[in-house]
């Protein structure tokens, strides 16, 4: 959302102030709606297109051979995706809400456009930045936070991203399983944490998927932190790799 509009239209620095960048991009875009559960960028071959969620929500999943699933990213309106060409094994992007609208931009045409419009080069870089930043944030969550912290983060993040600002009430259109696979927890743990947060007065439910945040701070602070002791740097030096 912000990224796109910000970068596109509030960006008068480039010399060529002709056509708004949004118009340039949309000139090669194709809009398509998807139904709940339907796969986006089906079989046209991954790596061919850049995508943007216009409305609705989607999940970017990896499925492991044994049935485990990791949701790598939840895609909300304004989010771009489609960076990974390398024909990754079992990656799918699926709409979470009915009627999710997705714009797709062929990479080839974007690159052609970029040759004549430097603003686009910059925009593409910012889009990539954004994707990398989100990944990094998620890595921290998966690596360092406990269950309570993860769910708390998740609620706060969703509250912000869904309404583009710190909102108190939010609707979670995804299932508990989706939340679990997004946070790398079991469904049961997600439920337990949610009811625990309710019990502590941090949130209330106005429906299974409707949450109201009462105490934002209680969500941010998880369990007790743990200290760690680091001297300084790394191991004694050894010969360089052969």
Residues forming the site for DNA (CB under 7 A): 146-148, 175-177, 184-192, 194-195, 205, 208-209, 223, 226, 230-238
Task: Supply the minimum distance, in Å, between the C-beta of residue 194 and DNA.
Answer: 5
| Rounded Cα–Cα distance for residues 29 and 109 (Å) | 10
Of 209, 215, 220, 223, the residue at the interface with its own copies (CB under 8 A) is 209
| Rounded Cα–Cα distance for residues 39 and 173 (Å) | 17
Which stretches within 30-86 are classed as H helix?
Answer: none
Task: Supply the minimum distance, in Å, between the C-beta of residue 189 and DNA.
Answer: 3
Q: Under rule CB under 8 A, which residues in 85-144 are in contact with its own copies?
A: 85-86, 88, 94, 96-98, 107, 111, 114-115, 118, 121-122, 124-125, 128-129, 131-133, 135-136, 138-140, 142-144
x/- letters, 144..173, toward its own copies (CB under 8 A): x-----------------xx---x-xxxxx
Per rule CB under 8 A, is residue 228 in the interface with its own copies? yes
Which residues are CB-neighbours of 117 under 8 A, at least 6 positions away? 14, 16, 21, 24
- 74, 47, 72: which is closest to 62 by C-alpha? 72
The partner in contact with residue 28, picked from its own copies, DNA, none with C-beta cut-offs of 5 to 8 angstroms by kind, is none
x/- letters, 46..85, toward its own copies (CB under 8 A): ----------x-----x-xxxxxxx-x----------xxx
Task: Supply the minimum distance, in Å, between the C-beta of residue 58 and DNA.
Answer: 16
Torsion-angle region of 194 (φ positive above 0: left; ψ -120 to 50: alpha; else: beta)? alpha
Strands (E), the chain: 30-34, 39-40, 49-55, 58-63, 69-75, 80-81, 91-95, 100-106, 169-171, 203-207, 210-213
- 80, 73, 108: which is closest to 8 by C-alpha? 80
Per rule CB under 8 A, is residue 177 in the interface with its own copies? yes
Task: Supply the minimum distance, in Å, between the C-beta of residue 133 and its own copies.
Answer: 5
Contact 218, 202 (CB under 8 A): yes
């Amino acid at each position: 959302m912000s990224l796109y509009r910000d970068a596109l239209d509030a960006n008068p620095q480039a010399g060529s102030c002709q056509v708004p960048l949004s118009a340039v991009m949309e000139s090669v875009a194709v809009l398509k709606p998807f139904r709940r559960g339907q796969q986006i960028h089906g079989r046209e071959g991954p790596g061919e297109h850049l995508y943007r969620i216009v409305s609705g929500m989607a999940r970017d999943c990896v499925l492991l051979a044994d049935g485990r699933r990791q949701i790598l990213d939840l895609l909300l309106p304004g989010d771009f995706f489609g960076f990974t060409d390398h024909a990754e094994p079992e990656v799918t992007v699926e709409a979470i809400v009915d009627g999710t609208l997705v714009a797709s931009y062929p990479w080839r045409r974007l690159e052609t456009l970029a040759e004549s419009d430097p603003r686009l080069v910059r925009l593409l870089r910012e889009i990539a930045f954004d994707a990398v930043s989100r990944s990094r944030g998620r890595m921290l969550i998966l690596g360092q936070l406990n269950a309570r912290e993860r769910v708390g983060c998740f609620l706060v993040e969703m509250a912000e991203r869904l309404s583009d600002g710190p909102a108190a009430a939010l609707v979670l259109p995804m299932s508990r399983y989706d939340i679990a696979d997004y946070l790398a927890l079991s469904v049961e743990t997600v439920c337990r944490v949610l009811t625990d947060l309710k019990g502590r007065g941090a949130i209330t439910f106005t429906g299974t998927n409707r949450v109201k945040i009462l105490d934002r701070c209680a969500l941010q602070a998880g369990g007790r932190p743990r200290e760690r002791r680091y001297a300084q740097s790394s191991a004694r030096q050894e010969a360089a790799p052969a």
